[in-house]
Amino acid sequence: MEYRYLGRTGLKVSELCMGTMQFGWTADEPTSHEILSTAFDSGINFLDTADIYSRWAEGNPGGVSESIIKNWMQKNKIPRHQIILATKVRGVTGDGPNDEGLSRVHIMKSVEESLTRLGTDYIDLYQTHWYDENTPIEETLSALDDLVHQGKVRYIGCSNYPTWRLMQALWASDKHGISRYDSLQPHYSLVHREEFERELADVCRTFGLGVIPYSPLAGGFLTGKYRAGGKEVISHRAKGVQRYFSQKNWELLAVMENLGNEKGGKSISQIALAWLLSDPVITSPIIGPRTMEQFHDNLGAAGLRLSTDENQILDDASRPQKTTS
């Protein structure tokens, strides 16, 4: 397992980040523990979660994957310093008017709840899950900066920010001399390129932000289990994945399959992850396997890199359509 600096920081994280959104949702707790233990034994030190996972599922109060991580760490006596814990704040956590957003009030309450659920006294990377158009960025950043000074948070990052909001945040941190976002968690994969590539990639490169892309397998589409005219896939993710069904993407899967065969029998998902791992702007794709079998498949991408020619083949097959303005 290779370890990479998270952007300009001195923090080293594994080249694969273990996503945990599926824990307590599509993966039960025993399976989640087994995946976490094998990930840890394989050298993965970087875990991503959020205070709202998986509140959208019936009967799930949210924060369940944070609790599963705590239970696993306690049961297996995992030394706290050997894990880089990343969680998020922003989503709805209750019924009150202040139970969501990036106000000082909600951040200060949410961090305490996440610390309790995670069973720790500090979070390595505290991320704003998506922007809050109703709260001044200075209010959000100064609350996060206070948490850094209180020792409750080590680094701060953001997710799902458009370029101008990210630039505004970097500028505000610089202007006020306070902690700045050191990572971005964007939605990025071979079938969802434009959002990150249009401008965010250049911002991250220029200002030294770590990049930890989520949904690197497009929720399962980039595994090849969904096929044109193929049999129905039974999965909680199947409905969301349908957005990728297009002639262009079926052809992309065929190109990836060929490339995998030429590289000695690599799976389509390993090729999808290797494409991200071969890009110097990317720190660690966040994987989200639901079973041990899926985990072992995803893990097979560790250390896998593509040559310039191989990258070109994938680039040609997946390039976003040019938009005219």
Ligand X SMILES: NC(=O)c1ccc[n+]([C@@H]2O[C@H](COP(=O)([O-])OP(=O)(O)OC[C@H]3O[C@@H](n4cnc5c(N)ncnc54)[C@H](OP(=O)(O)O)[C@@H]3O)[C@@H](O)[C@H]2O)c1
Which residues are annotated as catalytic?
Answer: 53
The 3-state DSSP class for residue 147 equals: helix
CB of 322 to ligand X, least distance (A): 25
CB of 22 to ligand X, least distance (A): 5
Q: What is the rounded distance in angstroms from the CA atom of residue 248 to the CA atom of residue 319?
A: 10
Looking at beta carbons only, is 178 or 278 nearer to ligand X?
A: 278
What is the separation, in whole angstroms, between the first and last Cα of the chain?
43
Q: What is the rounded distance in angstroms from the CA atom of residue 51 to the CA atom of residue 282?
A: 24
286: β partners = 17
Looking at beta carbons only, is 148 or 233 nearer to ligand X?
A: 233
Which residues are at the interface with ligand X (CB under 6 A)?
19-22, 26, 48, 129, 159-160, 185, 214-220, 223, 225, 235-237, 269, 286-290, 294, 297-298
How big is the chain by its Cα radius of gyration, in Å?
19
Pairing of strands 12-14, 3-5: antiparallel
CB of 166 to ligand X, least distance (A): 14
For residue 236, what are its two tokens? 């909680």
Looking at beta carbons only, is 179 or 215 nearer to ligand X?
A: 215
CB burial of 221-243 (b: ≥16 within 10 Å; e: otherwise) equals bbbbbbeeeeeeeeeebeeebee
CB of 94 to ligand X, least distance (A): 20
Longest distance between any two alpha carbons in the chain, whole Å: 56
Looking at beta carbons only, is 232 or 309 nearer to ligand X?
A: 232
- H/E segment holding residue 127: strand 123-128
CB of 25 to ligand X, least distance (A): 9
CB of 175 to ligand X, least distance (A): 27
Q: What is the rounded distance in angstroms from the CA atom of residue 217 to the CA atom of residue 196?
A: 15
Cβ 121 vs Cβ 152: under 8 Å: yes
The 3-state DSSP class for residue 104 equals: helix
Tell me the helices (H) and strands (E) count for the chain, helix number first.
Answer: 12, 10
Looking at beta carbons only, is 266 or 290 nearer to ligand X?
A: 290
Looking at beta carbons only, is 71 or 178 nearer to ligand X?
A: 71
